[in-house]
């Protein structure tokens, strides 16, 4: 049975539809940074998604080739994730998508080293005829966060975010956004197949205890 991150780490991938606090340990990702409206056909975001998937599947399928990764185990490629921000705004403004900065990313199993990653970038570029040179091996240490399962369109996320903000305030916490602590989404539905009203997206925000003076 292939290792499935969503099933093994349900607390990080399958939260309830009401806010909860979680402490997220460090993890490694294949990531591509960019900016602009994610809905632009042929735009930078869709190109970034192609790259992170190409590298992720190259690593997964390395078992069938000559490159051997120490500690390799078969696994299900984890879901696509994204960090989002806009200059001068805490959180995100969903009505101004052209101003988005983003990091598209997919989690890597712990056995993947930087050397393995570099091999996968070169291999994916060659096999997929895709320029994967912008991809980076990114370690993220999120720490204390609030998260909630959002059901529905991405444009309806502000209602869920408001519930999260209220939960923080009522429980002695506050958002802790910074250049390294960002609005985080994990995409559990295939937007090409599922209707918008059934899309499942984990929304996660950095948090801290409310300071008292």
Q: What is the mean pLDDT of residues 171-189?
A: 96
pLDDT for the residue 95: 86
Residue 175 has pLDDT above 60, yes or no: yes
Dist CA 17 CA 118 (whole Å): 38
Q: pLDDT exceeding 90 applies to what percent of the chain? A: 90
**183 Cα distance to chain centroid:** 10
Question: In this predicted structure, what is the pLDDT of residue 107?
Answer: 98
Res. 17: pLDDT tops 70: yes
Nearest to 146 by CA among 16, 14, 24, 20: 20
Q: What is the pLDDT of residues 106-126, one digit of tens each?
A: 999 999 999 999 999 999 999
- Bridge-based pairing state of the strands 200-209 and 183-187: antiparallel
21 closest CA partner among 141, 142, 144: 144
pLDDT of 105 > 90? The answer is yes
Is residue 212 over pLDDT 70?
Answer: no
- Largest distance between two CA atoms of the chain: 60
Over residues 152-165, the pLDDT tens digits come to 999 999 999 999 99
What was the pLDDT predicted at 211? 81
94 pLDDT band, cuts 50/70/90, is: confident
Q: What is the pTM of this model?
A: 0.95
* Beta bridge partner(s), residue 15: none
Q: 23-72, pLDDT tens digit by residue?
A: 999 999 999 999 999 999 889 999 999 999 999 999 999 999 999 999 99
104 strand-pairing partners = 32, 82
SS (H, E, C) the chain: CCEEHHHHCHHHHCCCCCCEEEEECCEEEEEEEEECCCCCCCCHHHHHHHHHHHHHHHHHHHHHCCCCCCCCCCEECCCEEEEEECCCCCCCCCCCHHHCEEEEEEECCCCCCHHHHHHHHHHHHHHHCCCCCCCEEEEECCEEEEEEEEECCHHHHHHHHHHHHHHHHHCCEEECCECCECEEEEECCCCCCCCHHHCEEEEEEEEEECCCC
């Amino acid at each position: 049975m292939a290792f499935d991150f969503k099933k093994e780490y349900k607390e990080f991938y399958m939260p309830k539809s009401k806010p909860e606090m979680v402490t997220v340990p460090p993890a490694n990702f294949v990531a591509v940074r960019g900016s602009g409206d994610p809905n632009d056909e042929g735009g930078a975001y869709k190109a970034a998604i192609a790259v992170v998937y190409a590298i992720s599947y190259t690593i997964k399928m390395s078992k069938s080739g000559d490159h051997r990764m120490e500690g390799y185990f078969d696994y299900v490629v984890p879901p696509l994730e994204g960090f989002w921000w806009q200059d001068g705004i805490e959180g995100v403004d969903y009505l101004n998508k052209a101003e988005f900065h983003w990091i598209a990313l997919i989690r890597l199993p712990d056995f993947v080293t930087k050397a393995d990653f570099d091999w996968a970038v070169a291999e994916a570029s060659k096999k997929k005829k895709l320029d994967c040179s912008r991809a980076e091996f990114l370690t993220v240490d999120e720490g204390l966060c609030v998260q909630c399962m959002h059901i529905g369109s991405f444009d309806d996320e502000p209602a869920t975010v408001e519930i999260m903000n209220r939960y923080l305030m009522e429980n002695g916490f506050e958002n802790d956004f910074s250049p390294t602590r960002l609005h985080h989404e994990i995409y559990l539905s295939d937007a090409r197949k599922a209707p918008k009203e059934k899309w499942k997206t984990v929304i996660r925000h950095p948090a801290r205890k409310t300071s008292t003076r």
